[in-house]
Structure 1
Amino acid sequence: MTEHPLSGGAPPESLVRSANRQAADWLLRIQASPEDVDLPEQLAQWLNEHESHPKAYAKAQRAWALAGGLAPRAAPAAAEARALPVSAQTRPRQRHRLAWLSSAAAAVLIALGAYQHWLPGADYRTGVGERKTVELADGSQVQLDTDSAVTVRFEVGGRHVELLRGQAFFKVTHNASRPFLVDAGPITVTVTGTAFEVGTGPDGAHVEVAQGSVQVAMPDASVEVLKAGDSLRADASGMHKAPLTAVQIAPWRNGRLAVNGQSVAEVVREIDRYLPGTVLMPNDELGQRKVTGLYDIDQPEQALRSVLQPWSARLRQLAPYIYVVEEK
């Protein structure tokens, strides 16, 4: 079991939230497909991937027990499943649907625990589906995306912002004697005056530069200089630079999500940020398929359906704030 490769210690808040969501996915799989003989091994592998996973799964199990009044159903061992007669291994479609629906009660509680939008230390924050622009004391502007939060600390020798969650677009007032620093997970971005986006999440952090240039300090103490049209993503596999056009930089400012060859799971996770609830996606094979397109995040449910439609999958609402991706 490993620590988060970018934080080097306790998992960041965004990673904990991601683990809670994945735990909900796993519990839903167990409840919906108890006859699947591969699930125990797959679940064990996920539990061992990070120290936050067993805690998140235990929380999901407690939520299920409270919601259903029953102990959570365990996935059968492979030998036990093979010993069952075919009639016992095969569930009628109606029962399968009922298993999904009964999981909704647990998922509601899990979602409430996974999405704590209030951050006590934040100076500025947005709710789910909200975007907001704030002007700082030096005249700089910060535009916050959905479910994002920052702290601001201005001193004589510098201006310091920490992105606690989500993503933000900065238009920084030039002042060479007072550098503007943005901390976002594993990276620190330094500028004197420019326009750029910074985002942070469970997989790392990214920077996209619209105007001017920035310096990005990495966990290994290396520094990368980015100019207008450059982007950089730092994750567990390293640092990745790529060019972007102007319309590809922070398109969420105009209510759009631009996707180019990302996996369905990644896109669903991103659009999920704009929904007041959570989307569960038990199908790994579907999640690995690739998507390219431009989606309207001001209409997140419709955007999700547009992502899923080419793959003959659908978005189903099990309960208020609980959605699940199903193959038709």
Structure 2
Amino acid sequence: MGGALAAGVAVLALRPPLGAWPSLQELRADYRTGTGEQRQVALSQQMTVQMNTQTRINVLAPESIELLGGEAEILASGARQPVTVAAGAGRLLAQSARFNIRHTGDAVCVTCLAGAVDVVWQQRRQTLDAGQQLVYDDGGAQAVTAAPAGEASAWRTGALSFVGKPLSEVVDEINRYRPGRVLLRNAELGRRLVRMRFSIGQTDGALAMIRDLYGAQMTSLPGGIVLLS
């Protein structure tokens, strides 16, 4: 009985239900942001990190970090040696660039906003120029694509933008900014491709938009829980 209880407590510490409290990994990070929080960290004169919501980083050196999870915009300001960002199965190197990096699950999405950034994974190297995007995970990398205009950096202006994205992705993103949890219970609804833009501070308004525009049934429960069906 005692062993089962201890195991249950360990699981809750590693994976809190519905994100009700920070996990042990989050608490052990050198820097982290909570739900809806954004934070700027100047690690050196050559490297500044703008952290988005629910983001965790460890500092490996003054110009080197590991993105454990979440999203950040990195500014590399003419460093003599490249600043480096480790994330998932790869790492990024840049000397003079501004780029957005998003690490959710096993996938890492890198978007070059200005300058150039090198992406290194599985002994391969790809240079991204401004306006280009690359997604990789443990299994490899997708082809370089043109980044949707303004989408990757929309959060820096206090907005979220989705063009031709499944509604399930919109709900996942809302959950990163909103206390509580939105649960999508209709798989067909989740597959619908949508076009939406809304303020980070108006996530409840975004849920009302989903209800009104896409015919979702919305049920609000205590603790910030919302059911969409």
TM-score range, shorter chain: 0.7 to 0.9
Q: 1:127 maps to what in 2? A: 34
Q: Tell me which protein shows more strand as a share of its residues.
A: 2
CA distance in 2, matches of 1:113, 1:294: 27
1:222 aligns with 2:124: yes
Aligned AA (2:79): N
> Which residues of 2 match residues 285-300 of structure 1 at below 5 A?
285-300=188-203
* 1:196 alignment partner, one of 93, 99, 115: 99
1:265 aligns with 2:168: yes
Cα 1:295–1:273 change in 2 (3 A) is same
> Which residues of 2 match residues 87-98 of structure 1 at below 5 A?
none
Q: 2:4 maps to what in 1? A: none
CA distance in 2, matches of 1:282, 1:237: 31
CA distance in 2, matches of 1:245, 1:112: 30
1:280 aligns with 2:187: no
CA distance in 2, matches of 1:309, 1:289: 14
Judge conservation of contact 2:103–2:109 (CA < 8 Å) in 1: yes
CA shift for structure 1 position 111: 1.8
Judge conservation of contact 2:46–2:79 (CA < 8 Å) in 1: no
1:141-198 CA deviation, whole Å, 9 max, x = no partner?
A: 111111111111226xxx311111210001112123x221111112211111211010
Cα 1:125–1:114 change in 2 (3 A) is closer
Cα 1:264–1:254 change in 2 (3 A) is same
Judge conservation of contact 1:209–1:249 (CA < 8 Å) in 2: no
CA shift for structure 1 position 246: 5.4
Judge conservation of contact 1:152–1:160 (CA < 8 Å) in 2: yes
1:283-312 CA deviation, whole Å, 9 max, x = no partner?
A: 111111111121222211212332343221
* 1:233 alignment partner, one of 111, 135, 140: 135
Pair member with larger Rg: 1
Q: Percent identity?
A: 30
Paired residue secondary structure (1:307): helix
CA shift for structure 1 position 119: 1.7
CA shift for structure 1 position 242: 1.9
Select the structure with the greater relative contact order (CA < 8 A; seq sep ≥ 6): 1
Paired residue secondary structure (1:146): coil
CA shift for structure 1 position 252: 0.5
Cα 1:254–1:145 change in 2 (3 A) is same
Judge conservation of contact 1:210–1:246 (CA < 8 Å) in 2: no
Cα 1:280–1:238 change in 2 (3 A) is same
1:209 aligns with 2:116: no
CA distance in 2, matches of 1:184, 1:211: 20
Which ranges in structure 2 are unaligned for 5 or more consecutive residues?
1-7
* 2:76 alignment partner, one of 172, 185, 206: 172
Backbone CA RMSD of aligned residues:
2.5
TM-score normalized by structure 2? Answer: 0.84
1:47-66 CA deviation, whole Å, 9 max, x = no partner?
A: xxxxxxxxxxxx7xx99xxx
Q: 1:116 maps to what in 2? A: 23
Question: How many pairs align?
Answer: 217
Judge conservation of contact 1:175–1:192 (CA < 8 Å) in 2: yes
Cα 1:118–1:274 change in 2 (3 A) is farther
CA shift for structure 1 position 118: 6.6
Judge conservation of contact 1:212–1:227 (CA < 8 Å) in 2: yes
1:316 aligns with 2:219: yes
Cα 1:302–1:172 change in 2 (3 A) is same
CA distance in 2, matches of 1:198, 1:164: 11
Aligned AA (2:28): G
CA shift for structure 1 position 249: 3.3
Judge conservation of contact 1:206–1:233 (CA < 8 Å) in 2: yes
Aligned AA (1:224): Q
Q: Tell me which protein shows more helix as a share of its residues.
A: 1
